Amino acid sequence: MLIVLKSGTEQAGIDHVVDRLDQLGLKAHISQGQFRTIIGAMGEENETLPDLLTTIDCVERVVPVMKPYKMASRDLQKENSIIDVSGVKVGGGNYALIAGPCAIEIEEDCHATAKAVKAAGANMLRGGAFKPRTSPYSFQGMGEEGLKILRACGDENGLPIVTEVMDPRNVELVAKYADVVQVGARNMQNFVLLSEVGKIRKPVLLKRGSANTVKEWLMSAEYILSEGNHDVILCERGSTGFEPELRYNLDVGAIVAAKRNTHLPVIVDPSHAAGHRDFVIDLALAGLAAGADGFMVEVHNCPERAKCDGPQALTDVLFAQLMDMAKKIIAARQC
Ligand code: PEP
Ligand code: MN
């Protein structure tokens, strides 16, 4: 059961609800967000509880939630959440059109790519400074120096920036520079990291693990929400499959299933699913057609120079083509 408090409820009100739950034999889990406080009540529920609790002055509503994920569930909120990313809205008919290099490497390339994606209509810039690499000998990212470059490229073009954090010890550092903090597929069930990004006040982009169910994905989102960060954007990036032409199988069904079960925005990453640029445009469009609230696509002004994921990077020209087609699908979805 979730108890949504009226906005502006002060600590005394929160304490009063927690005391009342204690008297009723229920344990409280407080999620104090920027705009509202939600209290999860754990324990044995009965039919009279919602009525009892709604009589408390600061309680807006009491929502019985049957799903294992509570705050992420559509049972809590029927309408789609709209997340504000430094002025760019995502969800509820607002699209995240995120593009940029896999990793920040050569400063000039990052500036050139940012300029190109902005010109084509992207509304956010991506780029990794901490890279999850299969081999310890591969390029691991530029760290803080990379974050500074990405920030400068974003500011120069009026684009909020999205970048990954892998280590709970770096959450504060990454959040200092980023507008959106990304949790990658490999860390979807790194529960320590999820709790840490739940404590910051920056939106989080949570990718689905390559072998995780929609339910597990939403449980991971719940870790972030339950810590008080209510701004979570989900990202489908493909599951492990057996087709060797593609790196992963983009799961458009998971987009549909997630959107049925959660009010959080869901976007699609066709680049990591595809593994090769030849597939990226069609998969991005398929994601939008399935109802995704946007995409995140890897673009590089000179893919040959990319130290990471060059084969799947769209060129500036291809990205502009994708944007033209995407606008048509978005218009069709909005009819
Ligand atoms: C990325 O977006 O840079 C990335 C590494 O993606 P994923 O976690 O989906 O593999
Ligand atoms: Mn990549």
Kindly state if the Cβ of 237 falls inside 6 Å of ligand 1: yes
Q: Provide the pLDDT confidence category of residue 43 given band limits of 50, 70 and 90.
A: confident
Residue 35 has pLDDT above 90, yes or no: no
| 178 confidence band (pLDDT: 50, 70, 90) | very high
Nearest atom of ligand 1 to the alpha carbon of 235: 9
Q: Cβ-count burial of 46 within 10 angstroms (0-12 exposed, 13-18 middle, 19+ buried)? A: exposed
Q: Please give the Cα distance from 97 to 180 (Å, whole number).
A: 13
- pLDDT value of residue 211: 98
CA 272 to ligand 1 centroid distance, Å: 6
For the Cβ of 184 lying below 6 angstroms from any atom of ligand 1, the answer is yes
Check whether 19 has a pLDDT greater than 90.
Answer: yes
Each residue of 253-262: pLDDT tens digit?
999 999 999 9
- Let me know if 11 is exposed, middle or buried by CB neighbors in 10 A (0-12, 13-18, 19+): exposed
Is residue 247 within 6 Å of ligand 1 at its C-beta? no
Q: Does residue 189 have a pLDDT over 90?
A: yes
Mean per-residue pLDDT, 107-124:
98
Look at residue 227 in the predicted model and tell me its pLDDT: 95
CA–CA distance, 34 with 242 (Å, rounded to integer): 43
pLDDT band (50, 70, 90) for residue 182: very high
* Strands laid side by side in the 37-42 sheet: 27-32, 37-42, 2-5, 59-63
Q: What residues sit around ligand 2, an ion, with C-beta below 5 angstroms?
A: 102, 309
Count CB atoms within 10 A of the CB of residue 144: 14
74: helix, strand or coil: coil
Looking at all shown ligands, the one closest to residue 163's CA atom is 1
- Residue 267's contacts (CB-CB under 8 Å, 6 or more residues apart) are 90, 96, 98, 205, 233, 234, 235, 236, 287, 292, 293, 294, 295, 296
Instruction: Let me know if 94 is exposed, middle or buried by CB neighbors in 10 A (0-12, 13-18, 19+).
Output: middle
Tokens 């066709």 belong to residue: 270
Whether the predicted pLDDT of 62 surpasses 90: yes
Instruction: Judge whether residue 303 has pLDDT over 90.
Output: yes
pTM for the whole thing?
0.96
Q: In this model, does residue 217 exceed pLDDT 90?
A: yes
The chain-wide mean pLDDT, for the chain, equals: 97
Mind giving me the DSSP string for 89-146? EEBTTB-EEEEE-SB--SHHHHHHHHHHHHHHT-SEEE-BSS---SSTTS----THHH
Closest CA to 129 of 157, 112, 113, 148: 148
pLDDT on residue 335: 85
CA of 214 to the centre of ligand 1 (A): 18
pLDDT at 7: 94
- Ligand 1 close to Cβ of residue 104 (< 6 A): no
- Answer yes or no: is the C-beta of 100 below 6 A from any ligand 1 atom: no
With the most atoms of ligand 1 within 8 angstroms of its CB, the residue from 237, 296, 308 to mutate is: 237
- Is the pLDDT reported for residue 326 higher than 90? yes
Average pLDDT over residues 30-47: 90
State residue 34's pLDDT score: 85
The residues that bridge with 233 in the sheet, in sequence order, are 205
Say how many C-beta atoms besides its own lie within 10 A of residue 181's C-beta. 25
From the CB of residue 253, how many other CB atoms can be counted at a distance below 10 Å? 11
- Rounded to whole angstroms, the Cα distance separating 124 from 114 reads 9
pLDDT digits (tens, 9 = 90+) for 86-107: 999 999 999 999 999 999 999 9
SS3 of residue 34 by DSSP: coil
Please report which ligand is nearest the Cα atom of 275.
2
Question: Does residue 24 carry a pLDDT above 90?
Answer: yes
Assess whether pLDDT exceeds 90 at residue 249: yes
- 236's enclosing H/E stretch is strand 232-236
